Amino acid sequence: MLKLLKYSLLDIVKSRFALLYTLFLILVAISIYQVSEDMSKVSLSLLNIMLMIVPLIAAIFATTHFFNNLEFTELMLAQPVKRRNVFLSQILAVVVVLSLAIIIGFGIPMILWGADATVLTLLGIGIGLSIVFAGLAFMASVMTRDKAKAIGISLSFWIYFSLVYDGFVLYLIYSLADYPLEKTTLGLVFFNPVDLGRIIMLMQLDISALMGYTGAFFQQFFGSAKGILLSSAMMLLWMLWPMGVAMRVFRKKDF
């Protein structure tokens, strides 16, 4: 498996995607640091960009990588190699490259310009979302042989979790404004990895005071040991279940 992983990593490096993605993140981070010296505002701006750009790039790149290496994958499946190892080498290579790009692209400017303890949370959310959407993209890819259709499904995941889901939650809150919805809203957050990452970061930035009673409730929950454990477990579940479903389909798929 390590040899397969090494080959996949070298293949991604040769495509220069990793370099371009890392440079893009560095330029974005430097631009934001040039505009403001308030670390909280900088972290919030980086968070907003990360929540939109990182899942999109992860979804598109993971899908493209899967289909660009489909011939190599079929060749490996014809050899005495476990399907699980072939699949894991492909997805781990994507995850490693995306994670390193975030760590270097956002981490270096944060170190040079200065950052508080929230930098680790921000980088962790970026890496977590990259893993989630890479897994969703692989799940979409193994379910169809049409590259365009797979990219469309991956983009649909991104649109749903980044835009549509929030609209649904806002509509629900507006329609039931006369009822206490704090616990309901908290439960809905766990069904969206993007919202989960956003809320965790906002609680770190102490912006909950601007969110009224609901923000205080979230602060009380996510600031407790139970809240931290539960939110971490849910994010881990979001990272694992798409990979698990994709691997199961991959192992049974007739190439």
Query: What are the pLDDT digits (tens) for 56-77?
Result: 999 999 999 999 888 888 888 7
What CA–CA distances, in Å, run from 195 to 145, 174, 190?
31, 18, 8
Instruction: Please tell me the distance from the alpha carbon of residue 7 to that of residue 26, in angstroms, as a whole number.
Output: 26
DSSP string, 143-200: T-S-HHHHHHHHHHHHHIIIIIHHHHHHHHHHHTTTS--HHHHHHHHTT-HHHHHHHH
Query: What are the pLDDT digits (tens) for 214-240?
Result: 555 566 666 667 777 888 888 899 999
Contact 90, 8 (CB under 8 A): yes
Q: Grade residue 255 by pLDDT with cuts at 50, 70 and 90.
A: low
What CA–CA distances, in Å, run from 184 to 109, 166, 173, 179?
38, 14, 9, 10
All structural domains of the chain with their residue ranges:
2-252
Place of tokens 């170190």: 111
- Residue partners of 61: CB distance under 8 A and separation at least 6: 17, 21, 94, 98, 134, 137
Mean pLDDT of 11-23: 85
